[in-house]
Structure 1
Amino acid sequence: MSQPEHFDVLILGSGQGGKLLAWHLARSGRRVAVVERRWVGGACPAVACLPSKNELWSAKVAHLAGEAGRFGTITGPVSVDMAKVRRRKRDMVDREIAFHLNAYRESGAELIMGSGRFVAAKTLEVALNDGGTRLLAGDQVFVNVGSHAAIPDVPGVAAARPMTHIEVLELDTLPAHLIVLGGGYVGIEMAQAYRRFGSQVTVIEPGPQLLGREDPDVAIEMQRILEGEGIRVLLGAQPTEVHGWSGQEVGVTLRSAAGEQRVDGSDLLVAVGRIPNTAGIGLGQAGVELDGRGFIRVNDRLQTTAAGVWALGECAGSPQFTHVSVDDFRIIRDNLAGGARSTGDRLIPYVAFTDPPLARVGLSEGEAKRQGIAARVARLPMAAVLRTAATDETQGFLKVLVGDDDRILGFTMIGAEAGEVMAAVQTAMLAGLPFPKLRDAVITHLTFAEGLGPLFGAIPAR
């Protein structure tokens, strides 16, 4: 083996946590190299979070334009130009790429575009995208390689060339009939968006409900919202075979309690989960162990089984949200400076950006029951939130769980501005406030957060 180039810090993958760590350590005077296979800045600004929310907003505008007459604005026929939808999204991605390249230049971290694999402890061989190879070694090594969309093991799926979230965001024409395999968060976001753009949409979910991690009342309400917009939802439907090609003609044969049926459409989107990008990158050569699902084994300080090697983000089994990867960065940053931070005490919120959105932080009812935690539950329909009398955004509800000590255990909301309202509850949970503090708070009228008063006022007495 030739002599490797030496760096103080070597980072494989430029996802959210990895790039923040690179910029921070480089600004601190360390010699830092980041190896990125494809997307400057990682998947979030290029093909995931930001691009999807960009197109979801375009879909919301299309929906509001179609509903404008209900609010007194008279318009003509509404149509969607998918080429312009894609152009708007691409323009945003171009701005993000420019931002990231400038951040690398200003920090002094070196961005190396190529595919890296470990060939020895703390040593990477990089096949450069523009040809040639480089051999790199680091005193400290961080792995931030993310994950990719899983393709289900169903006969004919791979041959049908289905879309994942990446390809569906590159469409410049409207699918006549989009079939979505998977009723999770990504699947229902894209299903609603393309229905609003004008496609016929069918969602196929093998499980008994949409959003399998949520309480049944949440799943039922979300299904009601989607079906109210004309989306066909098939539950308990196991795909057994796929025929044809996505983008032309594609069919999915299903088996359910009602028997066998076939759904025919024009395009197929697969949204059934994620697989870590840990295969084929030589982690064994580096002494880095994986768990049974292919995620990198880490402790609560994100240290791997190899000395001087850390992992962060989705490949380390962290919850698959950009904001969690940011916190992974903060944990590593602080611990490198002598801190003692841990992943074990995090309160992680999330939002599904449907319209209305679904937001949750803390325990669901089902999780509390499975863990044997006693909880008092209150529920408030969105129609009881006074703001909705002005906006007509009455779909959904708020739900809260409170423990015997009056502290908030969990909060779920389907409704307008759910993520923003949830942040207020999350803050109270982080502060350990008893629920009467929110119940009796003076919250601005007319806001959606004002609904927290009557919600917490409905908590049953001990």
Structure 2
Amino acid sequence: MTQDNGKVDMSAVSTRRKQMVNGLRQVHISNYEKSHAEIIMGFGRFVGEKTVQVTLKAGGTRALKANRIFLDTGSRATIDLVPGLIESRPLTHVEVLELNVVPEHLLILGGGPVGLEFAQAMRRFGARVTIIERSQALAHWEDPDVSDGIAQLFHDEGIEILSSSTITCVEGISGQSVTLHVQRGDGETSVQGSHLLIATGRTPNTENMGLEVVGIKTTPSGHVQVNERLETSVPGVWAMGDCAGSPHFTHISFDDFRIVRDNLAGGQRSTTGRQTPSCIFIDPELARVGLNESEAKRKGISYRLIKIPMLAVLRTRTLGETRGFLKALISDDDRILGFIGFGVGSGDLLPVVQLAMSAGLPYTAIGSLIIAHPTFSEGLQSLFSTGPLKK
């Protein structure tokens, strides 16, 4: 998607995105039509027991009554109460996808998944990119070798990183010119850019829904309070996904639905102890399931470590992308406690490891498999054929 002069054609990028989104939306709409479910577009609010009033997008209102009500209202980007921030009209993950131009200099608040993915994408489109992160490291919840690896990756691609930085004031308008006043250590500096992207967290969409009218409790963070079966404090009302405080992943929201569905059919499923796989789609990918070293140490869990460089995964050599590593935490009885993949194709390695973890299989069960050569999965054989080291 480049023009003759070699620059990225963002209008073509935007068009392709819209085509993809519209295609997926049509799939979902078709599924609804086949199920004969009714879709009502509008804003719903509890006005009484088992009663929701919808302010319709097309105008007017409509009252709905039901014995079972399910809340899945999602979340939105958090915009902190920093002087001038709201007034600067910053981009969120929604608006940045609608850009028709490559930002001259994109400033990104936050070094989490959203910030990391857009930082690399926009840098590769040709923008100058600066990440401002309040913690000491990008992806600070991960182990130091992961955070350091991402920092080196971004450094090599020319992405600027301001860590341990707090925004004190914002001036200007995103899309024109914006200046951030930044507190770093004992001093203050400023950084100027053309666009500003907010990626500092998520806020649940639970305001003004009349939850208090029917006694639905919320947590201090504003999420709907639920038990392990995703039941709210009011019988006949369930909540799932981001608004219920579940890990903010599409696949977790889908599992929330399965928990509610199966329990309504007489099952006994819950959120307790379930796996939470994740993948950050930078290049190369960062994938994880289970414990990392930092968590194991904090919880006092004994483990042994297996780690190999991605260079040992022969498929990476055929692609010319050998950066990163694979590692796993092994229990004293040889079960897999956690897996981290920082390298090309890492996300696709998760299901095999998850299955072994769910079944309580020893790590050697994967190491003894015959795996097609040369595939990314062959890296699991290399990893789990390695003797673990005591930590």
> Under TM normalisation by the shorter chain, which class is it?
over 0.9
1:273 corresponds to 2:201: yes
Q: Secondary structure at the match of 1:224?
A: helix
1:208-357 equivalent positions in 2, closer than 5 A: 208-257=136-185, 259-357=187-285
Q: Contact between 1:121 and 1:287, CA under 8 Å: does it hold in 2?
A: no
**Alpha-carbon distance between aligned partners in 1 of 2:387 and 2:142, rounded to the nearest angstrom:** 21
The alignment's C-alpha RMSD in Å is: 1.5
Per the alignment, residue 48 of structure 1 pairs with none
Shift of 1:208: 0.6
SS of 1:106's equivalent in the other structure is: helix
Structure 2 residue 81 is the aligned partner of structure 1 residue 81: no
Give 1:97 shift: 2.5
Residues 264-283 of structure 1 deviation map (CA, whole Å, 9 limit, x = unaligned): 11000000000100111100
Alpha-carbon displacement from aligned partner over 1:189-225 (angstroms, at most 9, x marks no partner): 0000000000000001010111122111101101111
> Residues of 1 paired with 2:81 and 2:166: CA distance?
12
Identify the range of structure 1 (297-306 vs 452-461) with the bigger mean alpha-carbon deviation.
452-461
Kindly state the Cα deviation for residue 77 of structure 1 after the two structures are TM-superposed: 6.0
Give how far 1:103 is off.
1.8
User: What SS does structure 1 have at the residue aligned with 2:238?
Assistant: strand
**For the residues of structure 2 that align with 1:277 and 1:238, how far apart are their CA atoms?**
26
Once residues 456 and 156 of structure 1 are traced to their aligned partners in structure 2, the CA distance between those partners, rounded to angstroms, is: 52
1:90 to 11, 18, 38: 18
Q: For 1:139, what is the secondary structure of its paired residue?
A: coil
Matched, 1:419 2:313: no
- Distance in 1 (CA, whole Å) between partners of 2:22 and 2:370 is 43
Match of 2:371 in 1: 443
Aligned-partner SS, 2:40: strand
Q: Which stretches of structure 1, 4 residues or longer, exceed 4 Å deviation after superposition?
A: none
Aligned-pair distance for 1:458?
A: 2.8
Query: How far apart, CA to CA, are the structure 2 residues paired with 1:410 and 1:78?
Result: 43
Shift in Å, 1:258: 6.2
* 2:25 match: secondary structure: helix
Is 1:161 the counterpart of 2:89? The answer is yes
Q: Is the 8 A contact 1:123 1:286 kept in 2?
A: no
Task: Provide the residue aligned with 2:30 in structure 1.
Answer: 102
- Aligned to 1:145, which of 63, 73, 77? 73
Indicate the SS of the match to 1:323. Answer: helix
Aligned partner of 1:302: which letter? L
Q: Which residue of 2 aligns with 1:14?
A: none
- Structure 1 Cα separation of the partners of residues 94 and 389 of structure 2: 49
Q: Given residue 164 of structure 1, which amino acid in structure 2 is its aligned partner? A: T
- Identity level (%): 50
Q: Once the two structures are superposed, what CA deviation does each residue of 1:124-162 show, in whole Å capped at 9, x if it has no partner?
A: 111111111111110111111111100022111111000
Instruction: Please give the alpha-carbon distance, in whole angstroms, between the structure 2 residues aligned to 1:453 and 1:114.
Output: 51
Aligned residue among 95, 102, 121 for 1:174: 102
Match of 1:407 in 2: 335
**1:277-304 deviations in Å (ceiling 9; x for gaps):** 0111100112210011111111111100
Given residue 170 of structure 2, which amino acid in structure 1 is its aligned partner?
Answer: V
1:368-383 equivalences in 2 (<5 Å): 368-383=296-311
Which residue number corresponds to residue 434 of structure 1? 362
Counterpart code for 1:253: H
1:134 aligns with 2:93: no
Task: Specify the code of the residue in structure 2 equivalent to 1:141.
Answer: I
Post-superposition offset of 1:423: 1.9
What displacement does 1:99 show? Answer: 2.1
Q: Contact 2:323 / 2:343 at 8 angstroms: preserved in 1?
A: yes
**Partner Cα separation in structure 2 for residue 233 and residue 384 of structure 1:** 30
How many angstroms does 1:381 deviate by? 1.0
Aligned length, in residue pairs: 390
Question: What is the letter of the counterpart of residue 77 of structure 2?
Answer: A
